[in-house]
Amino acid sequence: MMKKIVLVTLFVLAVAPLSAAPANLAALEAYATKALTKCPDSKITLTPINQPGPSGFVAFALKETSSDTGCGRNTFLLYSPSSSQVIIGTVFALPIDNRSAEARISATASALLKTNFAVSIAAFPLPDGLHAVSMIKPTQWGPFSYHGYLDASQRFLIIGSRGNLYVDPGTTLVESIGIENAVRRGNPKSPVKIIELSDFECPTCGRAHKDIEPLIAKNLSKIDYYRLDFPLYETHEWAFPAALGGRAIEKVA
């Protein structure tokens, strides 16, 4: 829940101007439908944005509506015609001055989240001249990192999920998460793969567990189930030690 609150706050505070051009709307809408959280009666609408934005990308305002009013969203979709790269997330216009990109990103992130960030930018570029960005702040449990991308013009910071229009976003997500160390149950040959990311101190996770666990137990022969710890330790004080305890129990049980 806290993660959702933070992301919504960023969207409200930092709507950035973007660029627009023709693109395959139907294919992009289909990609977004697969990539985003499944909402009841979900409908995805993409609207081109006719303003300058991240270099090399066509930009759209993405609106998801649902019969569940708490499940919709407003965000951005960026599409590269040259590489077929797709990014869904939030775009921040960086200050245009003589400071380094690291300094401008740090100032922007620190102002938005009211805390100081150390910033590092990967040396080697990704497709379309993107560079991976890590924004790091100290916590009592160690560094907490936010990840994003700097566009080729070094004028925009992008926070979101990155994939390719012609690669199933589910496959991309599994590769980016990494499930090698997950607790695993069920049938490894099942085509139905379920990956749970949970925080032991998250009340929403706890309520969902009561409904989901009986369904998982009932259908173990039909699903390939993975569970990964996702402790939001910047706000949940005991989520991290609880996750360590859970892993220890799993190894000896």
The pLDDT of 25-37, averaged and rounded, is 90
63 and 154 housed in the same domain = yes
- Does one domain contain both 88 and 121? yes
Pick left, alpha or beta for residue 55 (phi over 0 → left; psi -120 to 50 → alpha; otherwise beta).
Answer: beta
Q: What is the mean pLDDT of the segment spanning 140-162?
A: 90
What is the phi/psi pair of residue 55, to 5°? -60, 130
**Whole-model pTM?**
0.73
What pLDDT shows up at residue 237? 66
Last residue of a domain, one of 107, 129, 164: 164
Structure tokens at 144: 């907490």
The answer to whether residues 136 and 184 belong to one domain is no
Residue 158 and residue 210 share a domain:
no
Q: What are phi and psi of 180, to 5 degrees?
A: -60, -35
Residue 209 belongs to some domain of the structure: yes
The answer to the question of residue 66 being in a domain is yes
**239 and 114 fall within a common domain:** no
Q: Look at residue 172 and tell me if it is in a domain.
A: no
Question: In the chain, what are the helix, strand and coil shares in percent, each to the nearest 5?
Answer: 30, 30, 40
My answer on whether 125 and 228 are in the same domain is no
Given the structure tokens 């951005």, which residue do they identify?
76
Q: What is the pLDDT of residues 94-111, one digit of tens each?
A: 999 999 999 999 999 988
**From 114-118, 133-137, 190-194, 232-236, the region with the lowest mean pLDDT:** 232-236
Residue with tokens 């699903």: 223
Q: Which structural domain range is residue 90 located in?
A: 2-164
Q: What is the CATH number of the domain that holds 197?
A: 3.40.30.10
Domain count, the chain: 2
Which of 164, 199, 227 represents a domain boundary (last residue)?
164
Residue 21 is predicted with a pLDDT of: 44
Which tens digits make up the pLDDT trace of 206-248? 787 788 889 888 999 999 988 877 665 555 566 667 666 766 7
Q: Are residues 246 and 187 in the same domain?
A: yes
Residue 151 lies in a domain: yes
Last residue of a domain, one of 100, 135, 164: 164
Q: Is the domain of 143 the same as that of 205?
A: no
- Look up residue 152 and give its amino acid: A
Structural domain contains residue 169: no
122 and 243 housed in the same domain = no
Strands 131-137 and 144-150: antiparallel
**CA distances (Å), 191 to each of 166, 172, 186, 224, in order?**
20, 16, 11, 7
